[in-house]
A = this chain, B = another copy of it.
Amino acid sequence: MGGDHAPRAIVEGAVKAVAPPGTPFTCVLLGDQPRVDALLDDLYPSRERIEVVHTTQVVEMSEAPTSALRNKKNSSLVRGFTLHKDGNVDAFVSAGNTGAVLAGATLLLGRIHGVSRPTIGTEFPNETGVCIVFDAGASVDCKPRHLVEFAMMGSVYVETMHGIPSPKVGLLNVGEEKSKGNEVAIKTYELLEKAPVNFVGNVEGKDVLKGTVEVVVCDGFVGNILLKFAEGVIGLLKKQFHDYAKKSIMHKLWMGLMSGTLKKVLSNLDYQKYGGVPLLGVNGVTIIGHGKSSPLAVRNMILKAHDTVAAHLNTRIEESLRTLIEPT
């Protein structure tokens, strides 16, 4: 029931995920059963590999996370996490209230042993390959120790899910030198030098787009501001091209001819198409989607959840954190 286009986009996405013959998993849809049933009757009458669990409450997009968890025990969100905690499902996917999903995962599933703070990773389009920023908004006040944990979880994630051995880790900062940055960054640099990750030093804002490193570490305050800025870039570009087109009939014709190319290039920069970000550090697999998630994005989130379970990501994260040096 979460997300701006629920339940239709969610049901459509789930159908896209499970419909191909041989799909090795079942999708459990939690929501208002009559509405979900009506959509399934329309879209996917066979219901192969689909189950429906009826829930009566909805956590609204702007609702305060803790009160939602306390007061809406029969929401799709709380029921979903409970199913996951009890081992009835292997992963939880939502395009709903991010704060509530984060709080629900942390409180209901609990943290992996050795993790102080869970983290959300967000993939940024860039010039070369994979570049994922940890944290993108789960934790806005971070101590150096937390950032080191993000680096380790992020490294395990990129290694496991993207097949990149020993991914390069950069600390997001205002300059390359070790002495640069605020107090937290300077202390984090020292800890990262000793941590069991491939730490290559400080990186700057521009490096996120160049893909200089595979894992970028920052607190969730900086990461979230950067993510929302990046999401806004496409809007600004569209506006610039639109204004250009308004200058004359010739400009307009010209832009009309160009629009196909522009759309293709800009779609590479579209953060929504990536289809959900992983929440790392909790006892379970949770994929968080944008509220605006399309059916395609929901499908991608479900497939990502399946891949994450299959790769035993959490076992690897727990093993990695066991090697972490003691906090200073």
Write out the residue numbers on chain B whose beta carbons fall within 8 Å of the beta carbon of A140: 174, 181-182, 185
Is A301 located at the chain interface by the 8 A CB criterion? no
- Tell me if A221 counts as interface (CB < 8 A to partner B): yes
- Verify A127–B236 contact, CB threshold 8 A: yes
A276 to B14 CA separation, bound complex (whole angstroms): 52
Contact B204 A228 (CB under 8 A): yes
**Interchain CB contact under 8 A, B127 and A235:** yes
For chain A, residues 253 to 298, give those with C-beta under 8 angstroms from any C-beta of chain B.
254-255, 258, 261, 264-265, 268-269
Q: Which residues of B contact A205 (CB under 8 A)?
A: 224-232
Given contacts A127-B235, A209-B229, 17 further A-B contacts (CB under 8 A): A140-B174, A174-B224, A174-B225, A181-B221, A182-B221, A205-B224, A205-B228, A205-B231, A206-B235, A208-B232, A210-B235, A221-B222, A222-B222, A237-B269, A240-B268, A240-B269, A241-B265
State the A residues within 8 Å of B (CB).
Answer: 125-127, 137, 140-141, 172-174, 181-183, 185, 204-210, 218-222, 224-233, 235-237, 239-241, 244, 254-255, 258, 261, 264-265, 268-269
